[in-house]
Amino acid sequence: DAMVIQNPRYQVTQFGKPVTLSCSQTLNHNVMYWYQQKSSQAPKLLFHYYDKDFNNEADTPDNFQSRRPNTSFCFLDIRSPGLGDAAMYLCATSRAGTGEAFFGQGTRLTVV
């Protein structure tokens, strides 16, 4: 009965090689978020979608892009991963008006 599903759980990519992380949800929530979490740090919001409206954080590097083709799916594209992009990437969803965010299991990205 997983509600927010991230694939893959672990991803190894080469330095500079584009990589895509995926997130799907069965909650029909209209808001989806991507967070980056490095070891022992707080989750850092990269961007979020409110329905189809994309909201980018001011300090999110251009190297990070996102797509939301429909309500259920959201993708994180890293165009040219650097060593500093190695982290856990967390997808979350919420229903507008409630505030509560539901997190996926995360994708741990390693850059070699």
Partner 1 sequence: GENVEQHPSTLSVQEGDSAVIKCTYSDSASNYFPWYKQELGKRPQLIIDIRSNVGEKKDQRIAVTLNKTAKHFSLHITETQPEDSAVYFCAAGGQGAQKLVFGQGTRLTINP
Residues at the contact surface with partner 1, assessed by CB under 8 A: 30-31, 33, 40-45, 48, 50, 55, 57, 90, 94-106
Of 42 and 83, which CB lies nearer to partner 1 in the complex structure? 42
* Cβ proximity to partner 1, 93 vs 111, nearer residue: 93
Residue 9 exposed, middle or buried by CB count within 10 Å (0-12, 13-18, 19+): exposed
Smallest distance from partner 1 to CB 105, Å: 5
- Structure tokens belonging to residue 111: 């850059």
- Residue 102 contacts residue 27 (beta carbons within 8 Å): yes
Q: Measured from the CB of residue 7, what is the shortest distance to partner 1 in angstroms?
A: 14
Taking the complex as a whole, the smallest distance from the CB of residue 29 to partner 1 amounts, in Å, to 8
CB of 17 to partner 1, least distance (A): 25
Nearer to partner 1, 6 or 111 (CB): 6
| SS3 assignment, position 3 | coil
Question: Shortest CA distance to 23 belongs to which of 38, 6, 10?
Answer: 6
